[in-house]
Amino acid sequence: MSLELLIMFAFGGAFLTYLAGKISSKLRDIFALLCSVALVVIVSSLYKVETTITLYNGFFGMPLSMRLNPMAWFFAIAIVSSSALVVLYSMSYMKHRERTDYYYFMLLLINAAMLAIVLSGDLVSFFISWEIMSWSTFLLISYNRNAALPAGIKYIVMSLIGSMCMLVGIISIYTAFDTITISEIVQHMATATAGYKLFLLIIFSITFGIKNAVVPLHTWLPDAYAESPSPFSAVLSGMLTRMGIFGFLLIMFVMVGAENSLHMGRGFFSYHNILAWLGAITIVIPTFIAMLQNDAKKLLAWHGIGQGGYMIVGIAFGTSLGLAGGIFHTLNHAIYIILLFLSVGAIEYSTNGLRDLNSLGGLFKKMPIAFLGGLLGICGLIGIPLTNGFVSKWLIYKTLILGKAPFLAFATLLGTWGTILSVYKFLHNLYLGQLPQEHQNIKKTPLAMQIPIVILSLTILVFGILPGLPLKSINAMIVSFGFTPLTVSIWGISSETGTLNMINIFSILLVVVAIFWLIFQAARKSTAVDQYDNYAAGAAIPKDKYNYTVEFYAPFYRMATPYLRDIFDMLYQKIARFTEFACDNIRKIYTGYVSDYIIYIILFLALLISAQLKWSVF
């Protein structure tokens, strides 16, 4: 299986899916699913293959190439598998929506573009795929209309800013080194000055920072996540946003090289340290803002930003342990956030688009599978031991503590505790507590939506208990960056400063739970009661209009709301408003009076003459 075939399959599949949709929607669904499953098969068959191919020399004579290495493979498999699950999920979720052809087309196109990004062997094809991804994402974010429209504009404007920065960076590299192939750039980079490297790092960091929503550049994300269709929110948060992490890895550890990017500047004011601090801020502030959200998807979106911070901290700290943590967290985040978005999507599906945390509750009896997904998802998000999130977070904490960065560690840990609060609210207000009367007879979750949720839930546990599975290929990636490899075994990680043995913890917990479960069963059997048989000072709980999930952390709201505002968003809004104002006024120079226009002409003439007198052309 060659890479050309893979790329052809990805892009061609997207187009063909669209065409198939013109014939019949059932055919399209099946075709889309087959396509994405086929991609999974192809990519997994390429495990441990390292190859480079040149696609064509068409772009101004620059060779556009594809290459496969451990890093690319790792991201590629994550992309294609999440895509396959999401496509499967969409088969039910999108059934009664309009423009589904378009939806599938864009979804598959985005996946193809992401695949092309991670596989691209040179910067121009990287950029082209990046942009295809950006605009197709824009088209899909806007899919839900109404509130989605400003979100889409916000996204595409910030994305454009990012890509313009990247374009400048790429062209500057091309000008400096006369090549765009990454492997050749790596060789040339040794000759570059430190200042130039710093310039490259910064300008690419803006791009990837926007994509990965590092704090001052994050403002596109909450709206975009919240307003796109749920399966796509999953892709968006799981993989698409994390292309930023891929980019950071690419620029920091592949192109500029670890030995350069980790020694840029001095002391606190070094590139990677500032990046790590930005990551820390990214963890703390959005996590606390998430606590104030009342929209399930928006809450998850803010967490998406916050979790991105862990990855940034991990990879910016730049030890093999931290790097492994950061990369592993990227994968883990993808798994659990996709799961969470799919669970919320299931609720949206069942309750006809309701995702307001204040008006739902008690759904765990009605939608057990979605609840399972939600529970394991938030466990992973918090990093409860035995879920995958724990391992990666553990790696990051350990790196930070032993790397003598207690304040960074504090930020990361604090972020975790903030996460617990807000995701518990998420879980509680959606699934636990009282089931409102109007949701007693909600739609059932279809099988096609249940399967991905179950698969992802199991993956969370498997990766949590046997973290060695993904860590092995991450280890290969780290080695390719020139770091010392970790001692990874199937159950965890061991190093001279402490080991992590997940299967150990798992087995003990399992035994203890079993023992207590037996004790529990042996004790007097309990009577089952319904949710209205609750003690509320002797009063009967009213069945209608009774929902106490509103304002779950009311005391905290009162305390924190004045301080927890997204100042950057406000700043950008101000800038946008100012730009609009400027745009609205600058066109007033076209006054509509011909005499004014003639004056402009005369003025131009005068200007030219004075320019001649100043610069003396002749």
Residues numbered 152-171 forming contacts with another protein, rule: CB under 8 A: 152-153, 156-157, 160-161, 164, 167-168, 171
Q: Does 432 bind another protein (CB under 8 A)?
A: yes
Identify residues 341-360 at the interface with another protein (CB under 8 A): none
Q: Which of 437, 499, 561, 573 binds another protein (CB under 8 A)?
A: 499
Could you tell me the CA-to-CA distances from 390 to 241, 336, 426 in Å, in that order?
21, 12, 19
Residue 219 is a binding residue for another protein (CB under 8 A): no
CA 260 to chain centre: 27
User: Does residue 534 belong to the site contacting another protein (CB under 8 A)?
Assistant: yes
Residue 447: other Cβ atoms inside 10 A = 11
Site for another protein in 578-617 (CB under 8 A): 579-580, 582-584, 586-605, 607-609, 611-612, 615-617
Interface with another protein (CB under 8 A), residue total 145
Q: Euclidean distance between the first and final Cα of the chain, in Å?
A: 65
Shortest Cβ distance from residue 465 to another protein (Å)? 13
The secondary structure of 121-160, three-state, reads CEHHHHHHHHHHHHHHHHHHHHHHCCCHHHHHHHHHHHHH
Q: Does 571 bind another protein (CB under 8 A)?
A: no
Which stretch in 247-255, 293-301, 330-338, 551-559 sits in contact with another protein by CB under 8 A?
Answer: 551-559
Question: Of 147, 194, 490, 512, which one interacts with another protein (CB under 8 A)?
Answer: 512
Q: State the Cα torsion 121-123-124-125 to the nearest 10°.
A: 40
Q: How many C-beta neighbours within 10 Å does residue 198 have?
A: 17
- DSSP label at 181? B
Residues 579 and 573: their CA atoms lie apart, in Å, by 10
Smallest distance from another protein to CB 192, Å:
13
Based on the shown chain and the rule CB under 8 A, indicate whether residue 528 belongs to the binding site for another protein: yes
| Residue 284 to residue 415: CA distance in whole angstroms | 5
Judged by beta carbon, residue 410 or residue 568, the one nearer another protein is: 410
508 phi, psi to nearest 5 deg: -65, -45
Exposed (0-12), middle (13-18) or buried (19+): which is 398, by Cβ within 10 Å? buried
Give me 538's structure tokens.
């002797």
Neighbours of 5 (CB within 10 A): 11
Nearer to another protein, 169 or 470 (CB): 169
* Cβ proximity to another protein, 133 vs 323, nearer residue: 133
Q: Which of 37, 38, 401, 448 binds another protein (CB under 8 A)?
A: 401
Residues between 82 and 101 with contacts to another protein, criterion CB under 8 A: 98
Per-residue contact string for residues 127-156; x = within reach of another protein by CB under 8 A = xx--xx-xx--xx--xx-x--xx--xx--x
Question: φ and ψ at 269, to 5 degrees?
Answer: -85, 50
Among 231-239, 267-275, 400-408, 440-448, the segment contacting another protein (CB under 8 A): 400-408
70/206 Cα distance (integer angstroms): 25
Q: Does 60 bind another protein (CB under 8 A)?
A: yes
**Interface pick for another protein out of 216, 424, 469, 566 (rule CB under 8 A):** 424
**Residue 319 contacts another protein per CB under 8 A:** no
85 phi, psi to nearest 5 deg: -65, -40
172 binds another protein (CB under 8 A): yes
Of 103-111, 207-215, 275-283, 401-409, which part binds another protein (CB under 8 A)?
401-409
